[in-house]
Amino acid sequence: MITGGPMDTLAPVIISSSPENYSVHFDKKDIKIVFDEYIKIDKLNQNLIISPPMNTIPEVTPMGFASKSITIKILDTLKSNTTYSFNFGRSIVDNNEGNPFTALNMFFYR
């Protein structure tokens, strides 16, 4: 009988991000993060903390289906000379077992 192998217990791993984490002079409207496996976004509204707060919440996609990347579309005007942080909490999980990626903190300086 085929067992399917051992259970996946590892969280997703970031392969790349554009811009890179801790970027300075950030002036883009999109952030893309690529993972090593299919991920889902789970309970984003309960987990995402943005500092300083933005007037318009960024759009995070894809919502509702698995993907190997996420895109954050910034809809607000960013203030100059300000460091922004995006803490995703436990909202990024792998598609198969739901293992959370708990260390996703993006920082950039405008």
- Domains in the chain with CATH codes: 22-109 (2.60.40)
CB-CB neighbours of 8 under 10 Å:
13
User: What is the pLDDT of the chain when averaged over all its residues?
Assistant: 92
Return the half-sphere exposure (C-beta side, CA atoms, 13 A cut-off) of residue 93: 16
Q: What is the pTM of this model?
A: 0.88
pLDDT at 110: 87
What residue spans of the chain are helical by DSSP H?
44-47
Q: In what order do the strands lie in the sheet with 49-51?
A: 49-51, 83-87, 105-109
pLDDT at 72: 95
pLDDT at 4: 73
d(CA 65, CA 58): 18
Q: Per-residue pLDDT for 10 more than 80?
A: yes
pLDDT at 91: 94
d(CA 70, CA 62): 6
pLDDT at 9: 83
Residue 64 falls in which region: left (phi positive, over 0), alpha (psi -120 to 50) or beta: left
d(CA 104, CA 86): 8
pLDDT at 96: 87
